[in-house]
Structure formats: C-alpha cells, structure tokens
Amino acid sequence: MTRIALVPGCLALLPAYASLLDPVPELRAACAEAVAWLGEDVRIVAADQGRRVAEALLATRTGVAGDGGSSYLVVANGAATRSERAPGYLDERAFDFDRALAKSLIAPDPAALRAVDTDLSHALWADVATLAPLADLLDAAHLESVDYDDDPYGVQYWVLRWAS
Amino acid sequence: MTLRLRRHTFADDQPLMMAIVNRTPDSFFDKGATWAEDAAFERVGTVVEQGAEIVDIGGIKAAPGVEIPPAEEKARVVDFVARVREAFPDVVISVDTWRAEVGDAVCGAGADVLNDAWGGADPELVDVAAAHDAAIICTHTGGATPRTRPYRVEYDDVVRSAIEDTVAYAQRALDAGVAPESIVIDPAHDFGKNTFHSLEITRRLGEMVATGWPVLVSLSNKDFVGETLDLPVGERLLGTLAATSVCALAGARIYRVHQVPETRQSVDMVWSIAGRRRPARAIRGLQ
C-alpha cells in the first residue's frame, strides 16, 4: 500500500520555535497522528522550508510500525490571506480559492490540482509548489481521512491522508 | 546547580519570586498593613495566588527602631509560620531573621529558609540551618550591626567585598553542614551601602553570579531606587523593575519583592531575552 499525508509548512511546528503554550495544539496532534500512520520509510515532498517542518514531524514520531509499503509526506497549505490579522492581510479571493483547492484535495482530483492558478496562489500567499508532484501521487489514490481543516491564524491548513 | 530549599527543589533555569510578608507594625513600604496576623495570612494567600514560590516572613523591620527581643520576634513569627505551613504546604517559607534562637523556632514550625539579612551577625545561625536541613541566604552588609544605617561607609571595591564576604559566609555554612544546594548569596542592596554602592552592585551583578552560588536580590522600593530617581516610597516600582531587569539579565535567581506580578513579568521578559525561557505563546510570522 502507498500512503500519502499532507501537512502545512507551519513554522510553529518546529522545535526551535516552541513556546511554553503551544499555539497550534490541534494542528500538531493531527500532524503527529498522520505521520505516525505513514510508517517507517517516508519520502518527503517539500521545498526547503517545508522539508524542515516535515523532518521535525518525522523526528518526533514514536512507536512507528512499517508494513513495507512506500509513504510520502507532502508539505503544502492554502491561502495566508484569510483575515485582517493574517500574514498577507485579508484577500476575499482566498475563500473561493481554498474551497476549490480543498475539494480537489479531498476528491482527490489530480487534474484539478495540476491546474491550480499559479498567479492567484502567489497573490494569496498559498504554499502550493508541491501540488504537481502530489497530483502524480494521487492518480490512483483515495482519501483516507481529513484530520484537520482550519485557519486559526488566517492561514488555511489541512492535514489529509490518502492511500492507494 | 539545582536549588533545594528544604523540601522544595527548583531547576537551575527557574527564577523565583520571594514575596515579602511583614509581621511588623512599622516596615518602610507597607507601614504595618500586614501587622495583624490575619492580614499577613491574607497577604500570603494573595502572593501565592500571584505565583510567588517563596514567602519571606519578617518580624522586625530592618531600619533602627524599638528594640524587639527574641521572645517578641518569636511571638510575631513562629505560630504564623506554622499556620502558613499548614495552609500552604507547597509554598517555600523563608523567615527574615539574623537570630539563631528565632531561626531554630521557625524551622521547628516548618520554615524552609533562613534569610539572614544581616550577614551572619549571629554565628550560630548556620548551625541551626544545618540542624534543620534548611537553606540559608548569605548576605553582605560590610560588617554592619543589625538594624543600623550606613554612615560614611566606603569600600575599595564594593563588589569584591560583597563577593568575598558572601562566599566566605557560604563556606562557613558549608562547614557547618548546610547542604551546598541550599546556600544562596545576596549582595544586600542598601545594607551597609550608599546609593552609589548599590548601583555598582547592580551594574556588576554578573560577577556575583559568576561565583556559581545562586544569587538573591532584594531591590524592592529601596532607598537606592528612590535616591536615584528622587522618588518617595510608593513611587519606586518602575525604578525597582528597571534594576530588577538588569539583575535578571545578569542571572539573579531569587527576587525578594513587594509586587509579585510586576516583578514576575519583568523577569520573565528578561529571562526570555536572555534565551533562558521560551516565549509564552509565539505565532507571529510562524503561521
């Protein structure tokens, strides 16, 4: 079985940026559950910064059992312009953009993921560089679970799992 | 080193608030506000609620005044210590006394720390601390007699004097059998010192921290703050917090204070600036 998980590149997940009180406890718990499910041998699909988040999440895993299949941890997230307090301030286009992206991810619809509007995603500060390789992985996959779907700080995060 | 105050231990990266609780009718800051036992008890409840790890109970004001014999000092603090011990088992109880006789009685009633603000004036205090496995605060007063004000005191080097005297006192406590993890040193701002001395002690506190002994600072609303800013008692909080911040950056471990939340906030902020404490909840730029 091939297992695929998606997590956001939220830097608050890095140990170097840990606070006394976790600002993203639900997100962290969802990520931990998803990466534990991936098994032992995990390939990371991420840009440099996202790779650090993925590596940190994988490093904190305990009691992981492998089943010999291949696994992928993909780092991406939606718009960072979903509120006035968001990093990229409020851009109303974020809501339709994220709604469409969520639909494509959950379906999953690889063709739609390959067709995401690059200019708009850039304008909305969305981290979608890995959607093309993710689409390739999802060609024969089905959704296993939606572990997280929220925008606590004006940034749209998903933690999703697929299997094929 | 892990700090142990009798039954209570603290990691070496944890700054501690020691809240002043006066069982006196005439201390300079509160002017008798907690002279009545119930008022003092209420003050303990308040500062514990505010997060103070230690209460420092005193039965005699530091300044000169009516002589308080040991029996009267004991009457003011011993039963009170027992009452606090019973009601607040988790709080560290310190008693501000220089007298071995009083120290013995309060340790018997449950005190954890003997805060000798007068620099070892009673040589048997270390033996009492050792006998009860209590902690001791070793202060520098330049040899001043208890409850006297400094008068034309000068030092070749006030910091060197503070280090030499407190380290020697710490050694004396060790020799008497006090546990090494239960010895704290205190330069004692204003005690045997003019304002220039206390400012220099503050500026060079890092030299005391470098001795390796945990350092206590007692800065709260003192005259060196008032004289520096030309402000009366009651208007010295900001100056106190500025001095507190300098001492925190240098690494002082225990802060003897009137105002717990304000001091805690200042020390927490500086502790985080110094990289010894994580921010409470950081998300800015990290989403």
Is the per-residue pLDDT at B51 higher than 90? yes
Q: Is B94 helix (H, G, I), strand (E, B) or coil?
A: strand
List all residues 6 or more positions away from B54 whose beta carbon is below 8 Å from its beta carbon: B5, B16, B17, B18, B19, B91, B92, B93, B94, B113, B254
Give the per-residue pLDDT at A8: 98
List all residues 6 or more positions away from A112 whose beta carbon is below 8 Å from its beta carbon: A100, A103, A104
- Span B119-143, average pLDDT: 95
Q: How does DSSP assign B30-66, residue by residue? A: TTTTT-SHHHHHHHHHHHHHTT-SEEEEESS-SSS-S
- Span B100-110, average pLDDT: 98
Q: Does B280 touch chain A (CB under 8 A)?
A: yes
From the list B251, B184, B190, B182, the residue with the least C-alpha distance to B220 is B190
pLDDT band at B103 (very low <50, low <70, confident <90, very high): very high
List all residues 6 or more positions away from B130 whose beta carbon is below 8 Å from its beta carbon: B173, B176, B177, B178
Task: For Cα atoms B193, B196, B197, give the angle at the middle one, nearest 5 degrees.
Answer: 40
How many residues appear in chain B?
287
Is the per-residue pLDDT at B237 higher than 90? yes
Residues of chain A with pLDDT under 70: 63, 65-66
B287 vs A11: CB contact, 8 Å cut-off?
A: yes
Q: Which of A12, A19, A154 sits opposite B278 (nearest CB)?
A: A19
* Residue B111 to chain A, least CA–CA distance (Å): 31
B287 vs A19: CB contact, 8 Å cut-off?
A: no
Q: Which residues of A touch B279 (CB under 8 A)?
A: 19-20
Is the per-residue pLDDT at B238 higher than 90? yes
Q: Does B172 touch chain A (CB under 8 A)?
A: no
Q: What was the ipTM of the complex prediction?
A: 0.93
Give the Cα separation of B189 and B73 in Å (integer). Answer: 24
Q: Which of A18, A22, A153 sits opposite B287 (nearest CB)?
A: A153
Q: Residues B147-173: pLDDT tens digits?
A: 988 999 999 999 999 999 999 999 999
> Which H or E element spans position A145?
strand A142-150
Give the per-residue pLDDT at A84: 97
From the list A64, A89, A81, the residue with the least C-alpha distance to A121 is A81
Q: Which of A10, A18, A21 sits opposite B287 (nearest CB)?
A: A10
Edge-to-edge, what's the strand order for the sheet holding A3-7?
Answer: A42-45, A71-75, A3-7, A157-163, A142-150
Give the per-residue pLDDT at B281: 98
- Span B117-126, average pLDDT: 92
Instruction: Give the global pTM.
Output: 0.92
pLDDT band at B144 (very low <50, low <70, confident <90, very high): confident
B281 vs A21: CB contact, 8 Å cut-off?
A: yes
Q: Residues B173-222: pLDDT tens digits?
A: 999 999 999 999 999 999 999 999 999 999 999 999 999 999 999 999 99
Give the per-residue pLDDT at A66: 67
Identify whether the C-beta of residue A152 lies closer than 8 Å to the C-beta of residue A27: yes
Interface probe with B: pick from A17, A28, A52, most Cβ of B within 10 Å: A17
Give the Cα separation of B133 and A62 in Å (integer). Answer: 42
pLDDT band at B28 (very low <50, low <70, confident <90, very high): confident
Is the per-residue pLDDT at B247 higher than 70? yes
Give the per-residue pLDDT at B106: 98
B283 vs A24: CB contact, 8 Å cut-off?
A: yes
pLDDT band at B117 (very low <50, low <70, confident <90, very high): confident
